[in-house]
Chain A
Amino acid sequence: MRRTTRLLVVVTLLTLPLSSQAADSSPVELTVLTAPKEVPAFSSFYVRLRLVNTGSRPLRGCLIELSRLISTEPCVFLGYRFWKAPTRFKVDSVDPLPLLQHSDILGPGEQIERSVRLVSPRQSRTGTLHLYAVSGRPDALTWVHQSVPITVGRAPFEVRRREIVTLALVGVYVLGIAWALFRLALGLSRAWRRPCSS
């Protein structure tokens, strides 16, 4: 009995950050309508979402500057993160994307459907894409979570070509610098020796 109680306390404490800010009391509902199962690495893809304002106040698009929310009114934005869900629910814990413009308003009971463009990570992997509809006042944001299983495959040809061309150019630079440094060392050693020999 004591063990069960302790376990319950631990579970409650662990889930506290999430439950205190989100889920049931959230004024929005986020639904993933379509999402690809597999995407190439470092490429654009779209996820279609439905956002419903289930609250009693209208929502606008959030204004975010340098990972800081500067909107003063209740607003909404989409945050996303690949593979690992954030442990802290802050604006800079996710990559923010606008679902609405600041001048757009989503009234109570209204809904919108939007295709949102994301860019897949650089490395191939299978895992979860975490999507969050973040809404409310800047001092009391609520986070609604949706997860999308996704596989990131190999990068397309043009990405690999770009990588090879860029690295080749870096290689040319490094070789040139190495050659110049070698000549400089030779020149300096000669200049160093000259006063001694005279």
Chain B
Amino acid sequence: MFLLTLIPLAWGYLLATRLLRESQRWLRWSLAYALGLLSFLAAVNALFHVLPLRPAVYLSLALLLLGSALLFRLPGLRIPPSPLGPVEGPVLALLALTAFFEALFWQMQWSDDDYFLHAPLMALALRDVFPTQNPFLPDLPLIGHYGRDLAIAALSVLFGEHFLAVQYFVTAANQAAAVLVVHGTARRFLRSPRQALWAVLFAFAGVNYGSRRGLIETFQNNNSFAFLFLFVSLYLFFTAFTRRSLTVTVLAGLAFGTFALIYETSYGLLAIAFAAFPFVLCALRRRWRLRYFTVTAGLLLLSVALALIQGGTLTELPKRYLAGEKADVAKSVDERRMTHEIRIRIPKPGFTITSPFTAEEYPLWSWRLEEDGGMFISVLPLTALLMLWQRKPWGILIAALSVVAILIPASIDFPGLNSESLRFVLVGGVGAAMLVGVVSGMTWEVARRRGSWTRWIVAVGVAGVAALSFWPSAKFAFRVINSTAQYPRDHYLVGEEWGCSPVQPRRPCEPIDVSAAVALRSIVQKGDRVLADFRGDYVTSVMQAEATFMTFARAFLAGPGVRTLRDGTHSQDSPSWEGEGFRARVFLETGETSVLDDLRVTYVYVNPEKLARDVYRRIQENPRLERVLHLETGDGAAVREAYRLKPAQATPVWVPPQAFRLVSAEPPARLESRRAYPVPLVLSGDVEPGDGVLRVSYDVRFPDDRLVTQNDEVRLPVVLRPTGPGRWTGMLSLATPWEAGEYNVRLYGWDGNTRFPLLGTDGQPAVLRLRVEE
């Protein structure tokens, strides 16, 4: 089946040779790969709107095969391929090989940076979940780019659905292809192999920003796709710009539009740079050519038209803008962080960039910008002016892209998402580094024409800058390769062997959890939600464990909480999740199943050893919970069980709450975080409840009235027992928050689907004040 991947490759190759008429052999093959992958993604995405994933994949392949047959009829290239120079070729091979294997080996050990989100998304795509939903909070959609995850998931259909291994190889191939595409494009449009070589070297190995050392190390998450297709878009734009071909312009427009599905921020930056480019070029040449504008406008219009209908951010954004506030999915800033819904406000107050990891604002002249985007940003004005002076179109476009990438996060406010500034600043940093590479090549070329002393001085200077710039990324690449050679057993291609295998004291998951998830995969259906018990002390590690479970079970999770953050901007490291919310905590601490209905749970996955004995017994004996999985290790040391939640047979008779007053609610004197406690309620009222049950809910708030977690109101049945005339008592399970502190708990009663505040004897809404200790 994997041989079918040759179809997109052949299609890409035919596009590169017959339509784009690319003469550079290395560039031709890298374009074949990139355009094949992009076309495959575009076709699968279009068909996935109406078909399940697997038929969409096969139909896409059939369409690409048909397209290849049509392209094959076009005349081939007659000009001989232009070979790489004797130094250029090996240097490029060194860089591309290292880019490929560094990405491959790193992923074989660590999988991904944001594995917790991307891996479940790919797994759920294989369950035909489309459009994407937040795997942790399935009530919320995930509005944003999904091209990378869909491309990998779709491709994995041809590789036995081993999507993690496919991810490792595709990411690695993207890195190598990006090296060749950057070099080939720069070589063609700078018309200098030397400048092109320096540009690619500085982009991949020379720029040190944030915690990354060059593009060679920037392959995690969407990055390898984002940068590869950014460079492919640049190549296609220049090709369309220089060739008078409608077909090439259409191809460039469609490819660029598909890029919006992969990374909308880079797409937006490129679109602005493309739109500005003909103006700058015509102003420089003092000659206005209509063709420059028609090609650019045609390409942009086509791409925007595609971006508006294909799905992702740019499809959702105008839809909701036109529909006004009513179309908002998220009801709060915190939820918006989860759905990735974008709000835009222009201009951003203060004209500052938000630091991604501290959320501090800094001005454009701050050293922080060099820290986030690399030191070459500081010379960007100079290198950009040099490109204008030298009239190098490739350099001018890269300079425009870099400048736009730095100005956008300073001038546009993205409420709640400002700390994503790195997405822009990285592009600015890479562009600035490429320009420094071009300047280095130009300097070297000038020096070559001078005397031998000048040549030596320049050679030493350029070599010194290069050595200093390349050293960190060379060191890191060596470390990755060396660690792989030293510890080959720690490098996995089979996801099931990797999941939860290394013992990490913080991460509460074990290989038996992966085995259980794999076993559950055939039991759970599309849309099922599993409440899984991975309680632990560290939120990030809990999320990693939950993500691993979801990835292998290919199911949604139920129960995590969305934390409410204080107003304002928050860093990317702000803890915005909780492994289990209040409702999940009530179930895991008491075995009470009514909270599961509100969470729309269909399966419960537990480690019996983690549960209190009486809770485990309640779960086992509950007629609504049917055990569907019991897994244990050979020696019986570890046990995991999964239960299916059957629908409730009878709805209890709910007593209307309006007639009751809360006399007292006494939580225990000492409350600890992350627990659930029985709280006796004493109520008064004139109504005779008979066998009825009062439906009580509560939410937990900070003293300033903010909710602790969003959409996590705990609704429980309280069976009333008479204690005297007009007096009743019942028991409520009160879950405590994750952290110690002072909290207010508001109580409500339910009459049907209508919520009423539960009133105290003074007629005011009942509020419990809690002090939770560590």
**Hey, which bits of chain A sit against chain B, CB under 8 A?**
34, 36, 42, 44, 46-48, 61, 63-64, 73, 95-98, 101-103, 105, 114-115, 117-119, 122, 155, 158-159, 162-163, 165-167, 169-170, 172-173, 176-177, 179-184, 186-188, 190-191
A103 and B637 contact, Cβ closer than 8 Å, known pairs A42-B489, A181-B90, A187-B89 = no
Decide if B485 is an interface residue (CB 8 Å cutoff). Answer: yes
Structural contact, A163 and B489, CB atoms closer than 8 A: yes
B492 touching A187, Cβ below 8 Å: no
Q: Which of B505, B510, B638, B675 contacts A98 (CB 8 A)?
A: B505
Kindly identify which residue among A97, A101, A117, A165 contacts B638, using a CB–CB cutoff of 8 Å.
A117
B103 to chain A, nearest CB (A): 12
- Give 10 nearest A-B pairs by CB, closest first: A187-B86, A46-B637, A184-B90, A166-B488, A183-B90, A115-B637, A180-B93, A103-B674, A173-B101, A187-B87
The answer on a CB contact under 8 Å between A162 and B497 is yes
B638 and A115 within 8 A (CB): yes
Contacts of A36 in B (CB 8 A): 635
Contact check, A115 vs B93: say whether CB atoms are below 8 A apart.
Answer: no
Other contacts beyond A159-B489, A166-B489, A180-B93: 12, CB < 8 A? A64-B505, A98-B537, A117-B510, A162-B493, A166-B105, A166-B484, A170-B101, A176-B93, A181-B90, A183-B89, A183-B93, A184-B87
Binding site for A on B (CB under 8 A): 85-87, 89-91, 93-94, 97-98, 101, 104-105, 108, 481, 484-485, 488-489, 491-494, 497, 501-503, 505, 510-511, 535-537, 609, 633, 635, 637-638, 672-675, 774
CB distance from B104 to the nearest CB of A (A): 7
Query: How far does the Cβ of B335 sit from chain A's closest Cβ, in whole Å?
Result: 26
B101, A103: Cβ atoms under 8 Å?
A: no
**Residue on A nearest B674 in the bound complex, by CB:** A103
A180 touches B87 (CB 8 A): no
In contact, B91 and A101 (Cβ under 8 angstroms): no
Q: Are B609 and A119 in contact (CB under 8 A)?
A: no
CB-contact partner of B503 in A64, A95, A182, under 8 A: A95
Interface contact B489-A173, CB-CB below 8 Å:
no
Residue among B537, B635, B637 making CB contact with A61, cutoff 8 Å: B537
Which residues in B have their C-beta under 8 angstroms from that of A187?
Answer: 85-87, 89-90
- Distance, CA A158 to CA B497, complexed state (A): 8
Collect the chain B residues with CB atoms within 8 Å of residue A165's CB: 493
With both chains docked as a complex, state the minimum distance between the C-beta of B139 and any C-beta of chain A, in angstroms: 27
Query: B357 → chain A, closest Cβ, in Å?
Result: 18
Alpha-carbon distance between A47 and B603 when the two chains are bound, in angstroms: 29
Q: Is the CB of B485 within 8 A of A167?
A: yes
Known contacts A114-B609, A117-B510, A119-B502; is A103 also within 8 Å of B537 by CB? yes
In the complex, the answer to whether B488 meets A97 with C-beta atoms within 8 Å is no
Inter-chain contacts of B484 with A (CB < 8 A) = 166, 169-170
**7 A-B residue contacts at CB 8 Å?**
A44-B501, A44-B503, A170-B484, A173-B101, A182-B90, A183-B86, A186-B86
Q: How far is the CB of B525 from chain A (nearest CB, A)?
A: 30
A177/B94 contact (C-beta < 8 A), A103-B672, A167-B485 known: yes
Task: Find the A residue at minimum CB distance from B486.
Answer: A170
Which residue of chain A has its CB nearest to the CB of B100? Answer: A173
B94: A residues at CB distance < 8 A: 177, 180-181, 184
Kindly list chain B residues whose C-beta atoms are within 8 Å of the C-beta of A46.
Answer: 633, 635, 637-638
Distance in angstroms from A174 CB to nearest chain B CB is 8
Docked CA distance A187–B484 (Å)? 30
Kindly provide the distance from the CB of A168 to the nearest chain B CB, expressed in whole angstroms.
9
**Minimal Cβ-Cβ distance residue in B for A63:** B537
Contacts of B675 in A (CB 8 A): 103
Residues of A within 8 A of B510 (CB): 44, 117
| Inter-subunit contact A163/B536 (CB<8 Å) | no
Query: Which residues of chain B come closer than 8 Å to A177, judged between CB atoms?
Result: 94, 97-98
Complex: how many Å from CA A186 to CA B86? 8
The residue in chain B whose Cβ has the minimal distance to the Cβ of A183 is B90
Asked if residues B90 and A155 are in contact (CB atoms below 8 Å), the reply is no
Chain B residue with Cβ nearest A118: B503
Q: Do B537 and A102 touch across chains, with their CB atoms under 8 A apart?
A: yes
Output the residue of A36, A165, A182, A190 with the most chain B CB within 10 A. A165
Residues from chain A with a CB closer than 8 A to the CB of B674 are: 103
The answer for the CA separation of A95 and B203 in the assembled complex, in Å, is 40
Q: Which of chain B's residues have a CB closer than 8 A to the CB of A61?
A: 537
Question: Contact: A180 with B494, CB < 8 Å?
Answer: no
Least CB distance from B558 to A in Å reads: 21
CB distance from B510 to the nearest CB of A (A): 5
Bound CA span A175–B93, Å = 12
* Residues of B contacting A73 in the complex (Cβ-Cβ under 8 angstroms): 774
Contact in complex: B503, A117 (CB < 8 Å) = yes
Residue of B nearest to A80 (CB): B503
Residue picked from A155, A183, A191, most chain B C-beta under 10 Å: A183
The contact of A97 among B491, B503, B537, by CB within 8 Å, is: B503
The docked-state distance in angstroms from the alpha carbon of A103 to that of B578 is: 15
Closest chain-B Cβ to A150's Cβ sits at a distance in Å of: 14
Tell me the minimal C-beta distance from B677 to chain A in angstroms: 13
Given known A-B contacts A96-B505, A173-B97, A191-B86, A162 and B535 have beta carbons under 8 A apart: no
Could you tell me if A169 and B609 are in contact, using CB atoms closer than 8 angstroms? no
List chain A residues, Cβ under 8 A from B85: 187
Give bound CA distance, A172 to B485, whole Å: 12
Please tell me if the beta carbons of A191 and B672 are within 8 angstroms of each other in the complex.
no
- Of A103, A122, A162, A166, the residue contacting B673 (CB under 8 A) is A103
In the complex, are the beta carbons of B87 and A34 less than 8 A apart?
no
Q: Is the pair A184, B481 in contact by a Cβ cutoff of 8 Å? A: no
A73 to chain B, nearest CB (A): 8
What chain A residues lie within 8 Å of B488 (beta carbons)? 162-163, 166-167, 170
Q: Which of B97, B105, B497, B502 contacts A180 (CB 8 A)?
A: B97
Complex CA–CA separation, A165 to B635 (angstroms): 30
Q: Is the CB of A162 within 8 A of B489?
A: yes
Per the bound structure, the CA–CA distance linking A102 and B511 in Å amounts to 23
Residue of B with least CB distance to A48: B637
**Are B104 and A169 within 8 A (Cβ)?**
yes
Would you call B493 and A44 a contact (CB within 8 A)?
A: no
In the assembled complex, the Cα of A38 lies from the Cα of B228 at a distance in Å of 49
Question: Which of A47, A187, A191 has the largest number of chain B CB atoms within 10 A?
Answer: A187
Q: Report how far A162 CA is from B104 CA in the complex, Å.
A: 14
Chain A residue contacts of B86, Cβ below 8 A: 183, 186-188, 190-191
Chain B residues with CB under 8 Å of A96's CB are 505
Residues in B with CB closer than 8 Å to A159 are 489
